[in-house]
């Protein structure tokens, strides 16, 4: 009887599963004949993907195998519509790895919305390598309201093999396989498609006499975008409302008519109620909203604008939010209009208005610009609306982006014509500015060394007959940066690019006088181009002569930290090289090793969507003291290659008991980045929070100021010396 009951139970269970198949094939089991991957799974990256019988459960797993070089990545991915609501999303899965090196393996979870990634983690910081049997891993992310697509994946970076199986996805603890889907209600702003194909606005007749009126319109448009309650609710597609308003505005005859149009426009948006929960600007605010321009308007317009301010939106906003836990701005529901690479007049004006107002209200370093941001809108009106082609438009955009003087800010996507202008052919050598001269510092491909005919340490003085310093002067506006050393860092790699496959250069080699030669150039994909420094697969730490420890953060892994503390405990000194971007976040895990007592090292300034333009300080973060702190000298190496997380890490090390920072000006761009999309498919970023020392002093633009300035020399480059490292060793050996 017992056997019969067990058999019946098994049959019922089988029928139940057969009648209720899982919505998503997260166990890799379902695979149609002829398909190379299970149903729903697809390939990201370059590596080979297969289905394998080495499974954690069931019959199948997803397998990623690198190529011999292991210089790229592979990912087996699955896409799920984000038709769910919740606060937290968790991906669990099993992974087995074999001989993973020079990279990592992990799960991947990405949440996309409005054509951009909203939340992302690929377990890179866990630096999982080596050979490991099946283990369970998990990722937890915030689940944004504006989520549209969920991507889950297994990923392998570097060399090795990885297997993945039994993925399990939950939202607020509920299994997505059984979680009820919801139909997300679209707001009126999302349903408005009237100008999807073009603005129908012609600004060719706009002249110098009109510019101040268009400056005012841009200010009013942006002020309403971030303050008016109806816009905050998503009642209006604020891009398209600009296009609806412009035809009437173009017909204005005088200031009275202009102000009347603007006042009536505001009134048409709906009635306003004075905000009972709005707080006045914090007296201790680092930055305060700039409303002086409103006071300079005619009485009726001024009254209406102040009425909007007193009734401003609070809390949830359709166009702006703050990233949870970090509080850098998240610009939401912004369309990049990628299908119109050269925007029409209305969209060009929109790009200017959108960017200017984002910076005006949500950039923490507006007060550190050389320019007064208040003058910038008027300046760029003619440059944007009269840009005659895609290149001129991209150039106007990058010049304006450069004015905020933030190395995080550039055209990171969509600048096709600008890239063409720089040239499709590249030199076979890597160059840097050393002692204010353009110097050959490395070869991209060793086999091209003889053909290049240039030696390490050679100085390029003219390109196609034009002095290098003159080219730098002419092009500097197209290389945004926080400071000049960082601008030169970014320009150096491009100065020998050309639309031709060869250029004429004049150069100085050693003690010889100037020479000239024709330098052959190559398509980018035929060279092993690196941006600032070559990729390294070396272990992050080693013992130098004289019992000195050396650590490079370029390749550091979490598991290295305990070994460094153990193996370097009795050394005379430790040198930490941050002339790179750290591969793992170490300010606390390694920084605390050099601190005997808890010490403050940083505080942030963050914006306020309830009072746009206001920035206030957070509480100061501290490095916890170590029970057994390091007793020797700590020397930290920095230069213009030290940027963002590298600079933040240097701040943490500076809090140490016996730290000396040597080198030169760092990139001066710190703070979690916020992405910005502009018409024409352009994408840029800003440093989204202010990063300050405990006394309020900024690191932006000035960077990490070294205690001892040490810079490489042309002679040192020629001799293959590492002059900063030499100085660090000298300091440690001093009694």
DSSP secondary structure of 565-625: HHHTTTSSEEEEE-SS--SS--TTTTGGGG-SS-EEEEEEEEE-TTSTT-EEE-PPEEEPP
> Would you say 318 and 241 are in contact if contact means Cβ atoms under 8 Å apart?
no
d(CA 574, CA 576): 6
Percent residues over pLDDT 70 in the chain: 97
Predicted local confidence at residue 35, as pLDDT: 74
pLDDT over 80 (residue 4) = no
Q: Calculate the average pLDDT of the chain.
A: 93
DSSP state of 94: E
pLDDT above 90 (res 36): no
Place of tokens 């703070």: 671
Nearest alpha-carbon partner for 109 in 138, 135, 66: 138
Phi-psi label, residue 613: left if phi above 0, alpha if psi -120 to 50, beta otherwise: left
pLDDT in the model for residue 559: 86
- Mean pLDDT across 561-579: 97
- For 48-51, the CB contacts below 8 A with 24+ separation are 48/74, 49/74, 49/76
**Overall average pLDDT of the 156-183 stretch:** 93
Q: What is the pLDDT of residue 15?
A: 38
pLDDT number for residue 208: 94
Of the given ranges (32-46, 173-187, 450-464, 474-488), which has the lowest mean pLDDT? 32-46
**How confident is the model over 104-121, as pLDDT tens digits?**
999 999 999 876 778 999
Neighbours of 338 (CB within 10 A): 15
What was the pLDDT predicted at 38? Answer: 83
The CA angle 585-411-605, to the nearest 5 degrees, is: 50
Cα separation, 650 vs 577, in Å, equals 10
513-521: list long-range contacts, CB under 8 Å, 24+ apart.
514/461, 517/453, 519/427, 519/452, 519/453, 519/454, 520/428, 520/451, 520/452, 521/423, 521/425, 521/426, 521/427, 521/428, 521/496, 521/497
What confidence tier does 8 reach under pLDDT thresholds 50, 70, 90? very low
All residues at 6 or more sequence positions from 293 whose CB lies less than 8 Å from its CB, including other chains: 219, 374
CA distances, 360 to each of 190, 208, 219, 353, 654 (Å): 25, 24, 10, 10, 32
**Tokens 């991507």, residue?**
151
Mean pLDDT of 255-264: 97
As a whole number of angstroms, the distance between CA 120 and CA 151 comes to 9
* Per-residue DSSP letter, 718: H
Rounded to 10°, the helix 345-362/211-227 angle is: 60
Distance (Å, whole) CA 205 – CA 252? 13
Q: In 542-581, which positions are buried (b, 16+ CB within 10 angstroms) versus exposed (e)?
A: eebeeebbbbbbbbbbbebbeebbeebeebbbbbbbbbbb
Residue 98 and residue 163: Cα distance in Å, rounded? Answer: 9
Q: What is the C-alpha to C-alpha distance for residues 532 and 548, in angstroms, rounded to an integer?
A: 27
Element (H, E) at 518: strand 515-520
Q: Is residue 6's pLDDT more than 60?
A: no
| CA gap 505, 449 in Å, rounded | 16
Token pair for 132: 């490991």
Q: What is the pLDDT of residue 68?
A: 86
Residues 6+ apart with CB under 8 A from 149: 79, 80, 81, 82, 111, 112, 113
For residue 14, pLDDT beyond 50: no
Residue 38: exposure state from Cβ atoms within 10 A (0-12, 13-18, ≥19): buried
Distance between CA atoms of residues 324 and 12, nearest Å = 46
- The per-residue b/e assignment along 100-128, b for 16 or more CB within 10 angstroms, e otherwise, is bebbbbbbbbbbbbbebebbebbbebbbb
Least confidently predicted of 17-31, 115-129, 329-343: 17-31
156, 161, 166, 172 alpha-carbon torsion, rounded to 10°: -20
Q: What is the b/e burial string over 64-88, where b = at least 16 CB atoms within 10 angstroms of the residue's CB?
A: bbbeeebbebbbbbbebebbbebee
Q: Is 607 left (phi over 0), alpha (psi -120 to 50) or beta?
A: beta
Length of the chain, please? 735
Q: For 72-106, how does the pLDDT look when each residue is reduced to its tens digit (9 = 90+)?
A: 899 999 999 999 999 999 999 999 999 998 889 99
pLDDT for 21: 64
Q: Is the model's pLDDT at 266 over the cut of 90?
A: yes
- How far is residue 210's CA from residue 357's CA, in Å, rounded to a whole number? 20
The answer on pLDDT for 393 being more than 60 is yes
The 3-state DSSP class for residue 135 equals strand
The pLDDT assigned to 1 comes to: 44
Pairing of strands 633-638, 659-663: parallel
CA distance 524 to 418: 16
- What sign has the CA pseudo-torsion 589, 595, 599, 600? negative
Q: What is the H or E stretch that residue 167 is in? A: strand 149-171
CA distances (Å), origin 377, targets 220, 295, 373: 12, 18, 8
Mean pLDDT of 553-581: 95
For residue 626, give the DSSP letter.
Answer: P
Radius of gyration of the chain (CA): 29
Say whether pLDDT at 5 is over 50: no
What does the angle CA 414 – CA 415 – CA 418 come to, to the nearest 5 degrees? Answer: 165
Token digits of residue 162: 């990885």
Phi, psi of 67 (to 5 degrees): -80, 180
Number of H helices, E strands in the chain: 19, 31
Question: Are 357 and 225 a contacting pair, CB within 8 Å?
Answer: yes
Quote the pLDDT of residue 34. Answer: 65
Inter-helix orientation angle 376-385/211-227, to 10°: 110
User: What percentage of residues in the chain have a pLDDT greater than 90?
Assistant: 85
The DSSP code for 660 is E
- Do residues 413 and 681 touch, judged by C-beta distance below 8 A? yes
Residue 11 pLDDT: 41
């Amino acid at each position: 009887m017992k056997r019969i009951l067990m058999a019946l139970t098994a049959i019922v269970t089988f029928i139940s599963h057969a009648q209720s198949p899982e919505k998503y094939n997260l166990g890799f089991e379902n695979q149609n004949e002829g398909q190379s991957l299970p149903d729903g799974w697809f390939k990201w990256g370059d590596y080979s993907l297969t289905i394998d019988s080495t499974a954690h459960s069931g019959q199948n797993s997803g397998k990623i195998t690198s190529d011999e070089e292991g210089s790229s990545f592979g990912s087996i991915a699955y896409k799920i519509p984000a038709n769910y609501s919740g606060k937290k999303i968790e991906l669990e899965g099993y992974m087995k790895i074999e001989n993973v090196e020079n990279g990592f393996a992990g799960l991947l979870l990405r949440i996309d919305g409005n054509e951009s990634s909203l939340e992302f983690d690929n377990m890179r910081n866990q630096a999982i390598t080596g050979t490991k049997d099946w283990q369970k891993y998990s990722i937890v992310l915030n689940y944004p309201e504006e989520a549209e697509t969920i991507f889950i994946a297994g990923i392998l970076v570097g060399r090795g093999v990885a297997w993945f199986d039994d993925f399990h996805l939950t939202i607020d603890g509920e299994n997505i396989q059984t979680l009820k889907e919801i139909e997300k209600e679209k707001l009126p702003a999302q349903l408005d498609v009237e100008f999807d194909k073009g603005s129908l606005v012609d600004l060719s007749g706009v002249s110098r006499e009109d510019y101040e009126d268009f400056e005012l319109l841009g200010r009013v448009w942006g002020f309403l975008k971030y303050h008016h309650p109806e816009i905050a609710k998503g009642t209006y597609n604020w891009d398209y409302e600009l296009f609806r308003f412009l035809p009437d505005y173009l017909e204005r005859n005088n200031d009275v008519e202009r102000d009347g149009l603007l006042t009536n426009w505001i009134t048409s948006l709906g009635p306003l109620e004075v905000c009972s929960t709005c707080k006045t600007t914090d007296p201790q605010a680092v930055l305060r909203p700039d409303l002086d321009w409103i006071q300079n308007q005619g009485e009726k317009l001024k009254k209406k604008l102040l009425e909007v301010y007193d009734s401003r939106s609070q809390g949830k906003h359709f166009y702006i939010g703050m990233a949870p836990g970090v509080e850098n701005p998240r610009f939401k529901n912004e369309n990049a209009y990628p299908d119109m690479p050269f925007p029409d007049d209305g969209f060009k004006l929109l790009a200017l208005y959108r960017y200017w107002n984002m910076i005006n209200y949500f950039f923490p370093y507006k007060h550190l610009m050389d320019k007064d941001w208040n003058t910038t809108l008027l300046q760029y009106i003619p440059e944007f609306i009269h840009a005659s082609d895609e290149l001129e438009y991209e150039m106007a955009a990058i010049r304006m982006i450069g004015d905020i003087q933030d190395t995080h800010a550039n055209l990171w996507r969509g600048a096709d014509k600008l890239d063409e202008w720089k040239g499709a052919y590249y030199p076979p050598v890597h160059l840097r500015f050393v002692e204010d001269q353009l110097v050959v510092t490395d070869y991209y491909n060793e086999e091209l060394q003889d053909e290049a005919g240039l030696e390490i340490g050679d100085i390029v003085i003219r390109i196609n007959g034009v002095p290098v310093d003159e080219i730098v002067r002419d092009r500097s506006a197209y290389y945004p940066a926080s400071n000049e050393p960082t601008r030169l860092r970014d320009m150096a790699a491009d100065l020998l690019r050309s639309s031709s496959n060869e250029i004429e250069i004049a150069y100085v080699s050693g003690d010889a006088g100037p020479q000239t030669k024709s330098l052959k150039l190559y398509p980018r994909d035929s060279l092993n181009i690196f941006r600032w420094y070559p990729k390294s697969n070396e272990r992050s730490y080693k013992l130098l002569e004289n019992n000195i420890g050396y650590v490079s953060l370029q390749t550091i892994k979490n598991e290295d930290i305990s070994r460094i503390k153990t193996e370097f405990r009795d050394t005379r000194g430790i040198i930490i090289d941050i002339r790179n971007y750290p591969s793992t976040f170490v300010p606390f895990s390694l920084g605390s090793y050099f601190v005997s007592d808890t010490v403050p090292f940083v505080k942030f300034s963050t914006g306020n969507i309830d009072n746009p333009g206001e920035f206030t300080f957070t509480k100061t973060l501290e490095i916890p003291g170590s029970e057994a702190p390091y007793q020797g000298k700590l020397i930290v190496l920095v230069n213009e290659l030290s940027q963002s997380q590298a600079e933040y890490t240097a701040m943490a090390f500076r809090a140490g008991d016996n730290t000396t920072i040597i080198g030169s000006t760092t990139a001066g761009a710190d703070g979690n980045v916020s992405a910005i999309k502009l018409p024409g498919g352009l994408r840029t970023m800003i440093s989204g929070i202010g990063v300050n020392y405990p006394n309020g002093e900024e690191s932006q633009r000035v960077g990490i100021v070294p205690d001892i300035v040490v810079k490489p020399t042309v002679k040192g480059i020629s001799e293959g010396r590492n002059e900063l490292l030499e100085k660090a060793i000298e300091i440690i050996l001093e009694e």
